[in-house]
Amino acid sequence: MVNNDDGAAVRARGLRIVRGARTVIDGLDLDVPAGQVVGLLGPSGSGKTTLLRSIVGVQANVTGDLTVLGAPAGSPGLRRRVGYMTQAASVYTDLSVIENLVHFAALAGRRGAAAHAAAADAVAAVDLGGHEKQQVGSLSGGERSRVSLAAVLVGDPELLVLDEPTVGLDPVLRRDLWDMFHRLSGEGRTLLVSSHVMDEAARCDRLLLLRGGALVADTTPDELLAQTGAPDAERAFLTLIDRANTGTGTGTDAGTASSGGVR
């Protein structure tokens, strides 16, 4: 509804991604509007990670048009403008929290005091104060994923691509992170945040619902509930799937949608 080509941080047309023998995504069109918190929601195996990997330019066998911040996905010029948090923590377990963050700040072009200031800001943003000198290997899983998020923040990216950043976190911390995502988008950044937890839909400005590598809906939380008459996002998602399977869908569903799709 609010989409237009000029305002899109990510624009995909006819996107096709093959992994191994499997075509995971087959002819996907989507827009991620700039300056919003956009949720990429879908069950495990729906293609979220594959799609995010293509957007940050680390996925092989991608065809079709994929434009990120106005440039082809994976262009060298995007490296410092796009921050990517992988699903598995991608920080060094044998370094402390602060050593990791200073390292990632340096990779993003910050040196000396600027790197340390960015690291300290990121520690505060993800609420890891007091753990600065702790080795990452000795942190809990949730703490480690927050270090990964902080490692993205130190680069000050325009587009943050976050793969299931809130998995395994307690509800208070999850809420705090979503609040932070909205603060970051308020500064004009775009956040593309994946989750398989449907109730996170309510926290997004915009939703992309994925199933079997196809877009089931491109909507807002309010529109999703209004269109389906469902009381929550999980049941709305099921309603959309049922409609797609009985042929009364919106036409964005692809052939894989009825297969149960996870493996």
Give the residue from 59, 56, 58 showing the smallest Cα distance to 69: 56
Residue 119 vs 161, nearer CB to ligand ADP: 161
- Outline where DSSP puts E strands in the chain: 8-19, 22-33, 37-41, 62-68, 71-72, 82-85, 159-163, 190-195, 206-211, 214-219
Residue 49 vs 228, nearer CB to Mg ion: 49
Extract the tokens encoding 86: 């992988």
Do the beta carbons of residue 97 and residue 147 sit within 8 Å?
yes
**85-124 footprint of Mg ion as x/- string (CB under 5 A):** --x-------------------------------------
Residues in contact with Mg ion, counted by CB under 5 A, come to a total of: 3
Q: Is 208 in the site for ligand ADP (CB under 6 A)?
A: no
Q: How far is the CB of 194 from Mg ion (least distance, A)?
A: 7
Q: Is 49 in the site for ligand ADP (CB under 6 A)?
A: yes
Phi, psi dihedral angles at 224 (to 5 degrees): -60, -45
Q: Is 168 in the site for ligand ADP (CB under 6 A)?
A: no
Q: Is 259 in the site for ligand ADP (CB under 6 A)?
A: no
Q: How far is the CB of 253 from ligand ADP (least distance, A)?
A: 16
Which amino acid type is present at position 235? R
Residue 19 vs 235, nearer CB to ligand ADP: 19
Q: Is 42 in the site for ligand ADP (CB under 6 A)?
A: yes
Stretch that binds Mg ion, among 81-89, 107-115, 139-147, 168-176 (CB under 5 A): 81-89
Extract the tokens encoding 97: 């929290």
82-85 and 159-163 strand pairing: parallel
d(C-alpha 48, C-alpha 214), whole Å: 10
Q: Is 256 in the site for ligand ADP (CB under 6 A)?
A: no
Do the beta carbons of residue 157 and residue 142 sit within 8 Å?
no
Which amino acid type is present at position 60? A
Question: Binder to Mg ion among 49, 100, 148, 190 (CB under 5 A)?
Answer: 49
The 10 Å Cβ neighbour count of residue 35 is 16
Residues in contact with ligand ADP, counted by CB under 6 A, come to a total of: 13
Q: Is 60 in the site for ligand ADP (CB under 6 A)?
A: no
Stretch that binds Mg ion, among 16-24, 47-55, 206-214, 237-245 (CB under 5 A): 47-55
Q: How far is CA 86 from the centre of its chain?
A: 9
